[in-house]
Amino acid sequence: MKIKHAHIDGFGKWHDQDFDFMANPQLIYGPNEAGKTTLMKFLISVLFGFADGRGKNRFAQYIPKDTASYGGSVIIEVQGQDYRIQRRKGKNGGKVTVTGPNGQQGGEAELQKLLGTMDRSLYQALFSFGQRDLAAVDEVDRSHWQQHLQQLGAVGSDHWAPLLDQYQKHADHLYKPRGRKWPLNQDLQQYAALTEKINQAREKYQRYQKLRTQLRTAQTQLADTKQKLAKQEPRSKELAHLQQVWPVYEQWRKNQPSDQSPIYLSDEQITTAQKLQVREKELHRQQANFQQRIAAINQEHPPVSRLDPREFLTIQQLKKELVTLQAAVKFQQRQQDQEKQWQAELTTLRARYDHPLPAPLNATDRTALAQLVQQSSRVQRQATGAEPPKQLMLGIVAGFILFIIGLLTNAAFITALGAVVTFAIIMYLYIHHGHNQSTASALSATDSRALLAFGRQHGLQDFSPDQWLLMQGDLQRNAELCAQLAQANQEQQKLASQLAAFKRQLPAQIHGGTLTEISASLDQLIALYQQANQDQQADTREKATIASNLSQLNRELADVRQQKLAIYHQADLHDDSEFANYLTERTAAQSRAAATDAYGKQVTPAARTALAKYQTAAELVHDLTAVRNQISQLNLQRSDLQATIQKTKLEIASLVEDGTLSNLEQKRANLAARIWDETQEWLTYQLAIEWVKRALNAASSDRYPALIRQAEHYFAILTGDHYCNIKLTDNGLTVVRRDQQVFFVEELSQGTAEQLYIALRLGFVAVMSDQANFPVIIDDGFVNFDNVRRQRMLELLNEIAKNNQVLYFTADDRVKELASDVLDLQALNHE
């Protein structure tokens, strides 16, 4: 179990206060009267009930003086699930409500399931201690240390110690070996005196015949009494057995199905009713949420900066212009990359030529240049010879092919034929070319002068005429690139002017920066204006929606209640509380039906037949008591008769010698019976004392080794490994120092004895954590510790916190220097 949160409605000085216990260990600091003990008492009271206010508890209720509320709640974690335990003013420790992880609620029964067998006294004896407990350590003697360890080893055995003292006191009031005034001691002395007198009073006595008659009569009555006892003793054993099995028989009889079944609703109807309950709670929750939302809407909104509508329109226009400029800037950035490509292309193009490039020719000039070049080419061909006819070229190719075939086929004739054909055609072409060249030389001079004049006119004189037409594409591309670069430069200047003009139009609250920053500032101004105008519209719409939803919820809630009550009325139920009781009774009826067979197998048919005669256990006990009383009377009668017979025999024997002998024998016989009864009573107390001691030793023996080992480990931590062992001997509890020196607890200092006590207590908590895991609460338990041992104690608490939650209350402000997660009650008081 772990305590996660506490809310105090009213308890002592605390009211309407929340406490979170998220750290483990949780250190809680507060000076005197800061409310430490009050908070600790509140936690224990919520779990185990408020004090009843009677007797010594008159001032232990912590009823607040400044508020009418009394009680509060804690949230605990059990096996990974959270439970809320709320306790308010009421009878028998207060009214408690337990809310489970799924919203289900219960009362004391549900709380008892969470606590198990743990109660207030056991919890305070095992899991809670303070300075008062430690201060009393110095007064504990050896026997009490051993008794304390037995109580730690055997959980719940603390009530046996007073019982042992009570038994010993009763035994001592009966007999002491060296006593004189105690009853058994005096009776033994008197018995010895009577024996001595009887030995001295043996004389003859005359009543023999009469005593013989009395003896025969007593013997007859004794035989009749023994016969009656022989009949009653089996009857007593039978009734005693019936008394033993009565609880099982009573459970069997209670679980017998009744004529009128308590189950009126089907499982489907119960499921439907439970779903309707859940839906009703959900509708109530939604109603509360809607009402809370309306309250929140009605509260005043925080002030929002507002813009003038005309300024808002201006800002919107600026925003549109900014979007256009941002697009232009992005385009310009892409254009700059294009300009770099254009410049690189222009540089590459101009690198092809050795002179600056002129302007490209227009279509007319290009046609004229083509005619001049064509005419010059024609004259040149005439000078160099016309292009050989295709037939001659085919002949050259055929001769070359024949030459290759001859080589491949190793045919000398074909090879020679191909070489002759090829050579003859080539010689013919050479002779024909020389004739044409002399004829065209005269025409070539005239055309060259016209071509050079055209080149000077258009700036082409630095280039070869045969390039003029070929370079026109490069000249055209050069002109295009120059024009594109000039246009891009103009666009950049234009954009820079637009940006400067735009920034001059910006409001005073926008101090410039990049276009992105300006855009963000404009968006913020627009958002502020829009938000300020939209809030009221949104609130109006939301209130209308909530009102509609509330109306719909009210209709649905009425419908759900009507359906639920319709199911309830079939079982004559009127509200959820009666329905919950009905479910409990229904479940109990089903459980009784299932348990009937189990109980029936534990009681034989014969025993059930015999027990059927009784309506209550009191009737059975009455018969058993009557039989036992009758047996007691018969035993008493038998004892009296035996005593009478013995007395008569003694008197018969003594009458022969001395008449006073019978009186003395009777007194001694009576005294012997009384001594026997007193001895039996004294032995009963002695056996009871021995049985309790052995039972405690047996109950604690399996936990002693683990407890001592854990306590040794903790004691070593607290003392800086100064002590290494703890031993329980016949002479008492001892500790062994690191140098093997042995000390009784009484020889230790107060601080070291307190550390030993803490080690034993926390050792038990650690050993029992798998069976009883509850928060450990310590109230100012380390006052006598120095700073070093206080730090070791915090280290030990950290180790204990691995398995148990630890809550440490202290008024020592030095603890805030030793740990960071400290709950400061003084700070809460000043809030």
Task: Select the more confidently predicted residue: 418 or 221.
Answer: 221
- Residue 221, pLDDT > 90, answer no
Are the CB atoms for 523 and 510 separated by under 8 Å?
no
pLDDT in tens, 283-298: 899 889 988 888 888 7
Q: Is residue 154 predicted with pLDDT exceeding 60?
A: no
**Mean pLDDT over residues 194-215, rounded?**
65
Length of the chain: 831
Q: Is residue 120 scored above 90 in pLDDT? A: no
The closest alpha carbon to 276, from 579, 510, 585, 57, belongs to: 579
**CA dist., res. 342 & res. 720, Å (int):** 85
Give the pLDDT score at 303: 43
What's the pLDDT score for residue 53? 72
| Summary mean pLDDT of the chain | 77
> Tell me, what's the pLDDT at 659?
44
Task: Specify which residues 78 forms β-bridges with.
Answer: 81
DSSP label of 722? S
Q: Which two tokens stand for residue 731?
A: 């002479």
pLDDT confidence band for 304 (50 / 70 / 90)? very low
- Residue 201 above 60 pLDDT? no
Amino acid 72: pLDDT: 94
pLDDT of residue 274 exceeding 80: yes
pLDDT band, residue 75 (cuts 50/70/90): very high
What lies within 8 Å, CB to CB, of 825 at 6+ separation is 28, 29, 30, 34, 35, 36, 39
| 271 Cβ contact partners less than 8 Å away, ≥ 6 residues apart | none
Residue 284 structure tokens? 């109530």
Q: Which of the pair, 77 or 297, is modelled with greater confidence?
A: 77
Whether the predicted pLDDT of 576 surpasses 50 = yes
Q: Which residue has tokens 């009681």?
A: 603
> Does the structure show a pLDDT above 90 at 87?
yes
Residue 584: band (very low, low, confident or very high) from pLDDT cuts 50, 70, 90: confident
Show the CA angle centred on residue 342, arms to residues 339 and 346, nearest 5°.
Answer: 140
Sign of CA dihedral 480, 485, 489, 495: positive
Dump strand ranges (E) for 142-223: none
Residue with the larger pLDDT of the pair 519 and 82: 82
Which pLDDT score is estimated for 305? Answer: 43
Bigger pLDDT: 247 vs 12: 12
Spatial distance between the Cα atoms of 377 and 373, rounded to a whole number of angstroms:
6
Task: Please give the residue that has the higher pLDDT: either 563 or 607.
Answer: 563
Which DSSP symbol is given to 386? P
pLDDT of residue 203: 45
pLDDT at 439: 46
Average pLDDT over residues 115-140: 70
- The residue among 487, 73, 44, 550 whose CA lies nearest residue 285 is 550
Q: Where are the alpha helices (DSSP H) in 603-660?
A: 605-611, 617-655
Is pLDDT above 80 for 17?
A: yes
Q: Cα–Cα distance between 816 and 762 in angstroms, integer?
A: 23
Residues 6+ apart with CB under 8 A from 312: 525, 526, 529
**Could you say which DSSP state residue 747 is in?**
G
Query: Above pLDDT 90, what percent of the chain?
Result: 6
Question: Rounded CA gap, 195 and 326, in Å?
Answer: 134
| Total Cβ atoms within 10 A of residue 781 | 23
- Distance CA(580)–CA(109), nearest Å, equals 14
- The yes-or-no verdict on residue 54 having pLDDT over 60 is yes
Which has the minimum average pLDDT: 168-172, 215-219, 245-249?
Answer: 168-172
State yes or no: pLDDT of 256 exceeds 70.
no
Q: What is the DSSP letter of 50?
A: -
* Dihedrals phi, psi of 325, to nearest 5 degrees: -65, -40
pLDDT(696) > 60: no
Counting beta carbons within 10 angstroms of the beta carbon of residue 251, is it exposed (0 to 12), middle (13 to 18) or buried (19 or more)? middle
Pair type for strands 776-779 and 2-11 = unpaired
**Is residue 780 classed exposed, middle or buried when 0-12, 13-18 and 19+ CB atoms within 10 A define those classes?**
middle
Average pLDDT over residues 521-535: 74
Cβ atoms of 469 and 373 within 8 Å: the answer is yes
pLDDT at 326: 76
227 and 634 in contact (C-beta within 8 Å)? no
pLDDT of residue 202: 45
* Helix axes of 309-350 and 515-570: crossing angle, nearest 10 degrees: 130
What DSSP line would sit under 267-295, residue for residue? HHHHHHHHHHHHHHHHHHHHHHHHHHHHH
Average confidence (pLDDT) over 478-494 = 85
Task: Classify domain 1-127+774-831 at the CATH topology level.
Answer: Rossmann fold (3.40.50)
| Overall average pLDDT of the 607-628 stretch | 79
Q: Which of 418-432, 494-508, 728-742, 784-798 has the lowest mean pLDDT?
A: 418-432
Report the relative pairing of strands 128-130 and 26-29 from DSSP bridges: unpaired
Lowest pLDDT segment from 111-120, 313-322, 566-575? 313-322
Q: What does the DSSP assignment read for 371-382?
A: HHHHHHHHHHHH
Residue 384's pLDDT is: 54
Min mean pLDDT across 173-187, 762-776, 794-808 is at: 173-187
Q: Which whole number is the average pLDDT over 704-715?
A: 79
Mean pLDDT within 369-382:
71
Long-range CB pairs of 282-285, under 8 A, 24+ apart, other chains included: 283/553, 283/556, 283/557, 283/560, 284/557
Could you give the CA distance from residue 774 to residue 118 in angstroms, rounded to a whole number?
Answer: 9
Q: Which tens digits make up the pLDDT trace of 655-689? A: 555 546 567 777 778 878 877 777 777 677 666 66
Read off the amino acid at residue 508.
A
